Amino acid sequence: MKDSYRHKGLRKRLVREVKAKGISDTRILEVIGKIPRHFFLDSGFDDWAYKDVAFPIGEDQTISQPYTVAYQTQLLKVHQKDRIMEIGTGSGYQAAVLYELGARVYSIERQETLYVRTKGLLEKLGYGGIRTFLGDGFQGLERYAPFDKILLTAAPKSMPETLISQLESGGIIVFPMGKKDDAQQMIRITNTKPKLTIEKFDYFRFVPMVKGVRKR
Ligand code: SAH
């Protein structure tokens, strides 16, 4: 796998585009400028990797659009050493973004094919520190809870109560919520004990969150 000057140039352009769309957090922009996103797509699609679009990664799934990755990450207010659980490892790109921001990342994928492929890729790219799990994200990771932050990259139809219960006091969960064929609204919930603070943001299109593990 090669990261050339051309790729770096394309990345700079992508960073400018994401910034122009309203992402202001410079650390997030730096990380997007650093990570070779083309490594997370099948080879032969290098140019697509640097367009601000979602792209198929097999198994009927997509790598989120860079703007969406940045948007969700910005809402999550990531700090160094934050323990973050991500639901939907997919290509691994979002997990790499969180990891580069200094977080401790726990990422769950329900499809074994993607889980195996991405685990191998992350190790190869030097992201072996990202902990990946094959499992149903609706269950979260009881063993490692509570988390400072939780991020869903697939959309549940309603409030993911089990996951909310795995939030640290003061913790934040960001997720797109809504039905499969509609656009889903981005929600941020902060665990401001004893109650929850709920905020609503823009609409996006995500793949649905699906129950259970899919074996190969
Ligand atoms: N974060 C990914 C986005 C992948 S798309 C990236 O950066 O590429 C969403 C992913 O969520 C898909 O891989 C899908 O299989 C997974 N998914 C859907 N429902 C899930 C569930 N209940 N638990 C874990 N992963 C799930």
The alpha carbon of 63 and the centre of ligand 1 are apart by a number of angstroms equal to 9
For residue 43, the model assigns a pLDDT of 87
Q: Is the CB of 28 under 6 A from ligand 1?
A: no
Residue 109 Cα to ligand 1 midpoint, Å, equals 6
**Is 64 an annotated catalytic residue?**
yes
Q: How confident is residue 19, by pLDDT bands cut at 50, 70 and 90?
A: very high
pTM: 0.98
Residue 8's pLDDT band (cuts 50, 70, 90): very high
Check pocket membership of 175 for ligand 1, CB cut-off 6 A.
Answer: no
| Residue among 94, 88, 90, 36 nearest 58 (CA) | 90
Looking at the DSSP assignment, which residues form a beta bridge with residue 176?
Answer: 186
**Is residue 137 lining ligand 1, measured as CB closer than 6 Å?**
yes
Query: Is there an atom of ligand 1 within 6 Å of 68 CB?
Result: no
Q: Centre a 10 Å sphere on the Cβ of residue 116 and count the other Cβ atoms it contains.
A: 14
pLDDT(1) > 90: no
pLDDT tens digits, 134-184:
999 999 999 999 999 999 999 999 999 999 999 999 999 999 999 988 999
The reported pLDDT for the residue numbered 153 is 98
Domains of the chain: 56-204 (3.40.50.150)
pLDDT band at residue 11, thresholds of 50, 70 and 90? very high
Q: How far is the CA of 62 from the centre of ligand 1 (A)?
A: 8
Show Cβ contacts of residue 202 under 8 Å, excluding neighbours closer than 6 positions.
Answer: 71, 185, 186
Are the beta carbons of 147 and 83 closer than 8 angstroms?
yes
Nearest CA to ligand 1 atom 19: 209
Examine residue 194 and say whether the peptide bond preceding it is cis (omega within 30 degrees of 0): yes
The residues near 210 (Cβ < 8 Å, ≥ 6 apart) are 110, 154
State pLDDT tens for residues 182-191. 999 999 999 9
Residue tagged active-site, from 64, 107, 158, 169: 64
| Residues 35-79: tens digit of each pLDDT | 999 999 998 899 999 999 999 999 999 999 999 999 999 999 999
Residues forming beta bridges with residue 177, ordered by sequence position: 185
Nearest partner of 136 among 172, 167, 160, 111, judged by Cα: 111
Q: In 179-189, which positions are buried (b, 16+ CB within 10 angstroms) versus exposed (e)?
A: eeeeebebbbb
Mean pLDDT over each residue of the chain, to the nearest integer: 97
Neighbours of 122 (CB within 10 A): 25
